[in-house]
Amino acid sequence: NIPINIVFEDEHLLVINKKPNFVVHPSPGHNSGTLVNAILYHCKGNLSGIGGIKRPGIVHRLDKETSGLMLVAKTEIAHIGLSDMFKNHKIERNYKLLVWNVPNSSGSIDQPIGRSKFNRKKMAINPNGKRAITHWTLLKVFSNIVSFVSCKLETGRTHQIRVHMNAIGHSLIGDKIYGYFPRKSQKYRVFEQEIISKCRNFSRQALHSNSLSFQHPVTKKFMQFNIDLPNDMKNLIESIK
């Protein structure tokens, strides 16, 4: 009986606003206390079983630290329909994120992503990987050190935004796997040092799924959802303005 923030629900699907640091499905080390456990309790065990016993209803996932909108199928017809829509890139997903440095005002990254050759737990740009496309737009700049960015996913590979933004030199604030910090050797003014310090202390990757739109797989009605930034990202932005 774990509280979940349900944005929309009908007999076929759920749209959830996932809180940060919430594991989606059971895995070694996380057998309970996951989003799947919470959804199974909420749905009284009646959930599409296509994903298997550990991933019922899960048609896509967000990383543990990533917050925001996520779709869950409740019935098999919805699960099949949503999975097909994800596969054919018919579900539009937009994310808000904070990155180091300042990217161009907009752009696209079309680079395949696969397992890293050097660390199997990491993903990387890999010529033998699956095609991955990310479009970004620059929203705001903080002292030429940190940028607020919007990303639209055309594909949905594991860690796609994190890998792609890191590949062009703009890793996410708080990303412990793909991130990096500004060079200490560079001389920064006092207020710049304060910005860097606050961002270095941010406890998770600053990534939020803020928008989701799709055609309902059963009713065929167009669905669109938008959700505000969580408080931790709002507070960080306020503190570095």
> Could you tell me the two tokens for 7?
């944005």
Contact assessment for residue 125 and residue 167, using Cβ atoms and an 8 Å cutoff: yes
Torsion, CA 207, CA 210, CA 214, CA 217, rounded to 10: 80
Alpha helices in the chain (DSSP H): 35-42, 76-87, 160-167, 190-200, 231-240
Written as one string, the DSSP assignment of 170-209 is: -PBTT-TTT-----TTS---HHHHHHHHHHHT-SS--EEE
Residue 209 pairs in a beta bridge with 68, 95
Q: What is the dihedral sign for C-alpha 23, 42, 6, 71?
A: positive
Catalytic residues: 63
| 231-240 helix and 190-200 helix, angle to the nearest 10 degrees | 170
> Could you tell me the two tokens for 51?
């994903």
∠ at Cα 108 (106, 110), nearest 5°?
170
